[in-house]
Amino acid sequence: MTDVILVLNAGSSSLKFAVYPKTEGANSPLLRGKISGIGTKPVFSARDAAGLELLQHGFAPIDPKTTADGLIPNLLDWVQAHLSGATICAAGHRVVHGGPHHAGPAVVTKTLLSDLEALVPLAPMHQPHNLAAIRCLAAKAPDMPQVACFDTSFHHTQDRLAQIFALPRALTDEGIIRYGFHGLSYEYIASTLPSYLGNRADGRVVVAHLGSGASICAMQNQRSVATSMGLTVLDGLMMGRRCGTLDPGVVLYLMEEKHMSAQQIKTLLYRQSGLLGVSGISNDMATLEQTDAPEAKQAIDLFCYRAAREVASLAVTIGGLDALIFTAGIGENSATVRADICARLRWMGVRIEAAANVQNAARLSPRGADIEVLVIPTDEETIIAQATRALTCGAGAAAQT
Ligand code: AMP
């Protein structure tokens, strides 16, 4: 009987999943899918290994009020039914915050779960959903080993200077530092660089992960040197709903002059800002690109302006730029955004070919360009599957919660 690994990425409004063979080196999923619109209008979609769409048939009707973790029992049954005879032998999860102590993935134990619970205030919109998925699976399949893969781990290679804020030392010592996120995506991109760049893979590379959440990472030798996100996922780029870098004086002003509570400010910064806040129309880039309203155009302009500034700023940390990589939903699909960002970086020597850009080609820069500009689709699930396989299929599988 075949053993498989289940990968889960549970968020506030979506549950992404993928199933991989347990076999070492099998990096193509047997099936992959997601339930989006959780909490409003849930939509199920899944594809098999050949990319053919799989029917929701067998998945119980989804209550719009269900949370992502509430869908896991159904999902397990559905996966089992679509992989006749296969056994799910382990599960891997994306966990947004690993705090200061996790430079790599970890097998889930009771102690780990309570450590991760303590980090909820640092990722209030993500961490609770990640942990709820782990708990739900532990309740449904108590003997199945689970692995937590952290978005922060990839950035543990950064120098201290890149990590600390200019705050009193006691706060830094407490762990109020820049952790950085999207590490699973950056780890995947880093692993693909040699196949795109050959020897230049070890050079000065800036990766722009532009999705609903967005950040940028400067790498050298395929390791993180600096990144735009900080203690929380609010820092850095403007995002779908998040504000990105903000004068901290704005928060003080909102508290003192507008008498807003911490909860109201949290909602404003995490949910009501970014593309949605500036456009007043949508948090979704594709929707804004199809809208004529000047507010939509200004939101896209600000997104690109801020991203270009951040690319240039991060290039300072690695002493220049050999390659610029675009990834995630916007980075992989929006020719408009890529063209705008690259135009703002022309002074640095960034050049792209318009035809290649419109086709979402892998290589956008002209042949022989000093700075390679590439589009590389990210694949966080494969990184999670590899880590889960390594930690649970060897001799040292640890106890479940
Ligand atoms: P992600 O969080 O990586 O799934 O990315 C979601 C973002 O990518 C949303 O803002 C989408 O509107 C955007 N996106 C996806 N496809 C396109 C496209 N063809 N053109 C512009 N934006 C897109």
| Domain containing residue 247: CATH number | 3.30.420.40
Full residue range of the structural domain in which residue 137 is found: 2-158
Which of 9, 32, 212 to probe ligand 1 with, by most ligand atoms within 8 A of CB? 212
Q: Cα of 211 to ligand 1 centre, how many Å?
A: 6
Strands 3-10 and 87-95, bridge-based pairing: parallel
Q: Provide the domain count of the chain.
A: 2
- 293 and 210 fall within a common domain: yes
Structure token pair of residue 127: 């961490």
Rounded CA separation 308/89 (Å)? 44
Q: Residues lining ligand 1, CB < 6 A?
A: 211-212, 240, 284-286, 289, 328-330, 333-334
- 127 and 23 fall within a common domain: yes
Are the beta carbons of 123 and 233 closer than 8 angstroms?
yes
Q: Cα of 283 to ligand 1 centre, how many Å?
A: 10
Q: Is residue 211 part of a domain?
A: yes
Q: Cα of 289 to ligand 1 centre, how many Å?
A: 10
Q: Give the number of C-alpha atoms closer than 13 A to the C-alpha of residue 27, restricted to the C-beta side.
A: 11
3-class secondary structure for 68-94? CHHHHHHHHHHHHHHCCCCEEEEEEEE
Rounded CA separation 390/229 (Å)? 28
Catalytic residues: 151
- 371 and 225 fall within a common domain: yes
pTM score, whole prediction: 0.95
Structure token pair of residue 64: 């719009």
pLDDT along the chain (401 residues), means of 10: 90 91 88 90 90 78 84 88 86 96 96 96 93 95 96 98 98 96 98 96 98 97 98 97 98 98 97 98 97 98 98 98 97 98 98 98 97 97 96 60 39
Distance between start and end Cα atoms, the chain: 26
- 272 and 124 fall within a common domain: no
> Residue 1's pLDDT is what?
60
